[in-house]
Each structure stands twice: as structure tokens, then as C-alpha cells.
A and B are shown apart, each in its own frame.
Chain A
Amino acid sequence: MAKASRESFGEILAELGEIYPDIVVLDADLSKSTRSEIFAKKFPNRFFEMGIAEANMIGTAAGLALCEKIPFICSFAVFLTGRYDIIRMSIAYSEANVKIVGTHAGIGIGEDGNSQMGLEDIGLMRGLPGMVVIQPADDIETKEAVKWAVKHKGPVYLRLTRQKLEDINTKDYKFECGKGVILKEGKDIAVFATGGLTYNALKASLELEKEGISCRVINIHTIKPIDKDLILECSKKFKKVITCEDHNIINGLGSAVAEVIAEEAQVKLKRIGLPDVFGESGSPEDLYKKYGFDSENLKKTIKDFLKN
């Protein structure tokens, strides 16, 4: 059933709170939106409302982590990653075991517009040594990724959506950090997608199949460390690869894939993302159409790229 990844996160975190007494959760006046509220209601003594003060929340979480707690800090992706130096020093450089949960990623949040949209966050986070960057694509993957993050000792950035995501994985799904997931095999082109755009890319590819175009669709849930082996394998097998993400075209999945290809492969690459502009208000559907993120536009872009 379609569900927002922030909702899946809130549900699983409250479940994991029972198993791991060291999990503590901090929020900066957005617990209703980040869905950390579910944990807060169940474990009020392990939930800290920090008010609208993200920098202090980040540092406080680092201190908790240095005393063996497993803190999750939750807010909108843009507000958290905007406190870059605090994340850099107090969490990443300190190797503090903090899980950074940035919700409301991408233009997919819609009407609230640019100030609330996390659009550069992947780039910021993947530039920090030791930071794992994960963007799940559906309900089950989000839950499995959170389970993994709790066990992983070290900082993790989890990028979540406000909007509902259609299911793409099945119940037996296993999350493997750093490993891309082939959702559909194909012969003509490799399509790498992440987060909210994964379903759209899959849908576009299934429709293209009827028109005689065969796409391999790969869900890249871990943007750092990137699945270099799979990218290189795809670069050998296909003449063209394409990336799709709801993030600035600079520094996101497309850049991560381009870095691997530029150093070790020869294949033509096209990146789909926000074309180095800020976000704007509008319905999520209208915004996705405008920037070519809906399955119809993705279909057209893939077709055109294959032709030229």
C-alpha cells in the first residue's frame, strides 16, 4: 500500500524502540510532520523536543551518541543539512553514532515551496567522510533501511519523502547497504533511480517495453557508498545509462554515477534532476510534470536519449 517514507520511518522507529533501549529521538518542532511523534508518544522519556533550534539538536545528539546512546535527529532535510558545519564537526568528524533523518525531500513536497524543500542535501551529506547516505524508495525498504541504520555504528543520513510512495519491493525484501537493486531487467539502457522517482522510472520502463524499448531499472537506495560494481557492470552491458532523482542535478545520484563512469568506464550518461534551480510552489503532480519527473516525461526523455 502506498505510504510516505516518513510514515514508514515513524512506524518502524517506534517498533525498534522496544528492542533497543538506547534509541533516543530528538525533533525540532516538526515531530508531527517527520512522524517521530509515534515514538514520542510511546517513549516520552526517550524523546527530546528541542524546539526550533536545529544546530543545538545536532550537537546534543552528538553528545548523547558519545555516551553510547543511539540518537535519531529528525527535521526537514533542508533545515538539518543547512546546519552543515555542526553536522561536519559534531557528528561526522567526531564519528558520532547519530542517525540524521531528513524528511520532506525534493520538489515532491509541493505547495510549501522552495524554503521547505531539501534539494541540495544529498550533495552536502555525501561530501562528508564516513557519512552513509540512504534514500529508500518504498515502505518496506524504508523500514529495512532504518533497521540496518540502528545496527550500523556510525553516522547515517536518511532522506525521506513527504509524499506517498507506491510499493515496489516484496515482503521478503532484504536491505543491503551500498547495493543497488535491479527491479527490472532490460537490454537497451540502464535506468538508475532513487527515492520518490524510482516507481515513476519503473512505470515508465514497463510502458516502454510495450513500445519495444527494453530498460534495466535499478533502484539505488544507497547513494554513499555508491554501488560501483553495478554501475561498471551496467556501463559494460549498455551503451547508455540514465539517472533519475528529485534533487538538484548537481551533486546527487547523477553526480555519484558520473564520478564512477568518468574514472573507469566509457558509456553515455544522461542525468534527470532539478536543473540547478531552486524549487517553487505548486501541486506535486504539476511540479513533477514541469520538471519531467512524472512517468510520461521520463518515458519521453528515455526514448529521446536512446534515439540521439
Chain B
Amino acid sequence: MDIKVLKEKAKRVRKKILRMLCEAKSGHPGGSLSIVEMLLILFTEEIKRTPQNASSKDRDRLVLSKGHAVPALYAVFSEIGILKEEELSTLRKLGSRLQGHPDRVRFPEVEASTGSLGQGLSIAQGMALAYKLNSNNSRVFCIIGDGESQEGQIWEAILSAPKFKLDNLVVLLDFNNGQIDGKVEEVMPIEPIKAKLEAFNWEVFEVNGHDFEALAETLKKCRTLNGKPKYIICRTIKGKCVSFMEDQIKWHGTAPSPEETEKAIAEIEQGD
């Protein structure tokens, strides 16, 4: 793992996200920018996705349960050869397989159709269960949102995965503390999340969700098949790497103008 290379990739992914949203004139920059490091480390170090293994039956899979952050997934796909960069500009346009939220029928590489919050974790659980049934050691990752964790179905899945001993299931919580109507802690607090998950019999980790090394180290620990499903609380910043977007709820679901996009890209390029 080369941190320098990953950091360069993260910059490119963030720039692609902003350009896509600007071109589409709609979409969700805040929660897309907060999962960039998570996605990159997952696809390069854990899932090791290539165009060749993308449809293999025993592939490791990622379900993006917080489907509104899909521009980040499309941008990462363009980094690993799943998508051509030119196609990114079709996001949200008529006839594009790059729907506003993931659509597995039009674009199977996204693994699951999500966007109605709370549903992806159950789907990921079903996939993990199928691998267990097949005595297959492949794994399933699922990125959920903090606001999304207010959905009852999330807690139904959190209750059931330990029953089925799904140690091949790894959940990453994008804890950026923002949702449309305000801060998560004000809209409907989910803390203490670590204690809750531990009480539900999950193996819980907590990391800085923008720190490649910490993420990689934690994900390595999650490879242990010890009977327990894994849950990583990723502390993140909504709108990460764009100063005027960071922690600003306004940027949950507003696309940047061409001027804002150029300003944001200049900042990203100057960042470390």
C-alpha cells in the first residue's frame, strides 16, 4: 500500500465527484466526499476489484447502503477500470446507467439498488449468508450513513447478523454527523453508537475515516473469521477537503456551480 499514491487517487476522485455533480446540476457532495478514503482502501486493499473479477460469483462485494453517495463510487470505479472516465459526465442524465442512486439492473457492478435508506445492510447480510451457505470465505462490506442509522430496518439487521455469526460481514459507518435537516445529534442522536453495537454482539472498531493507514489496519483486523460481524465507526467530515463545504449541511444535497467547482478543485489540488 502506497499512501502517496492513494492520496493522489483521493484527490482525483474528489475532483471527479465535484465535476460530475456540477455537470449534473444536482446530487449530494457532502456525503460523497466523506467516504472517498473508505472506498479507495476497500477496493484496492480488501476487495481488490478489477474489471476481470467484477462478475465472478465468489467476489468480495460492497453494498453502498447510503446510495445518495454513489458519485463517489462511480468516481472510484473510474480509477480502477470499471468505468471509463468519459462516462462520468452522464451521471443523472436520461439513458445513463449512472443513475442518481445505485441501480444494479442497469449497472450490476454497484451490487445492490439502494437509495431508500435503511435497506442495504439487510441485502449485504443476505449476501454474507449466501457465502456462508456455500462455505465460501468471500466477504461483504456495507457502507451505511449515520442519519440512515435512524431507520428501524438497520437495527433489525444489526440484531440478526450476530445470530447468523456473519463474521464475513463488515459494516462501515460514515459518521459525518450531518443530515438534511441538521446535525445528526440534533435531528435524532445515534450515540453512544459503540456501546450500542457492542451490546448487540458486534466486534466494533473506531477510526478516523480519512486516515488511510488507520482504515487499512482496521480492515486487516476485520479479516479474522471469529464468529462475529464487524462494525467500523468511521469518524468523517462531511464535504471533506473543500473548506466551504466541510461540515456545512447546505452541501448535503446541493450541486456546486461551475465557479464553486473550480474553487473547490483548486483547494483540493493544493491540499496534502
Contacts and interface: CB of A to CB of B under 8 A. Distances in A.
A53 interface: yes
Interface stretch (B22-30, B79-87, B128-136, B196-204): B128-136
Contact of B133 (A24, A53, A55, A59): A24
Interface string B159-183: 1100010000000000000000000
A50 B160 contact: yes
Contact of B159 (A45, A53, A61, A71): A53
Interface in A48-86: 48, 50-51, 53, 55-69, 71, 85-86
Given A53-B160, A89-B113, A89-B114, A59 B123 contact: yes
B168 to A, nearest CB: 12
Report, nearest first, the 7 A-B pairs whose CB atoms are least far apart: A63-B126, A59-B122, A67-B130, A56-B156, A53-B156, A60-B126, A63-B123
B54 to A, nearest CB: 14
A90 B114 CA distance: 7
A88 B114 CA distance: 11
Contact of B130 (A58, A59, A69): A69
Contact of B127 (A46, A64, A85): A64
Among B103, B114, B130, find the residue whose CB has the most chain A CB atoms closer than 10 A. B130
B116 A89 contact: yes
B159 A66 contact: no
A98 to B, nearest CB: 10
B253 interface: no
B126 A66 contact: yes
Among A24, A45, A64, A71, find the residue whose CB has the most chain B CB atoms closer than 10 A. A64
A95 interface: yes
Contacts of A50: 160
Chain B contact residues, majority secondary structure: helix
A239 B268 CA distance: 74
Contacts of A53: 156, 159-160
Contacts of B236: none
A93 B113 contact: yes
A255 interface: no
Interface in B95-132: 103-105, 111-116, 118-131
Interface in A102-129: none
Nearest to A90: B119
Given A45-B133, A69-B133, A94-B105, A63 B115 contact: no
Contact of A86 (B57, B63, B119): B119
A102 B168 CA distance: 31
Among B104, B121, B122, B156, find the residue whose CB has the most chain A CB atoms closer than 10 A. B122
Given A53-B159, A94-B104, A60 B133 contact: no
Interface residues of B, number: 34
A66 B115 CA distance: 17
A148 B121 CA distance: 30
B227 interface: no
A27 B76 CA distance: 38
Nearest to B157: A56
Contact of A93 (B63, B105, B134, B159): B105
Contacts, number: 107
A221 B160 CA distance: 36
Contacts of A71: 126
Contacts of B57: 67-68
A65 B122 CA distance: 12
A65 B104 CA distance: 13
Contacts of B157: 56, 59-60
Nearest to A71: B126
Interface string B216-252: 0000000000000000000000000000000000000
A86 B164 CA distance: 21
B159 A63 contact: no
Contact of B129 (A55, A64, A85, A95): A64
B189 interface: no
23 contacts: A45-B133, A53-B159, A55-B119, A55-B122, A56-B157, A59-B120, A63-B122, A63-B123, A63-B127, A63-B129, A64-B130, A66-B127, A67-B127, A68-B130, A85-B119, A86-B153, A88-B116, A90-B112, A90-B113, A90-B122, A94-B112, A94-B113, A95-B105
A58 B125 CA distance: 11
A60 B157 CA distance: 8
Contacts of B125: 56, 59-60, 63
A63 B164 contact: no
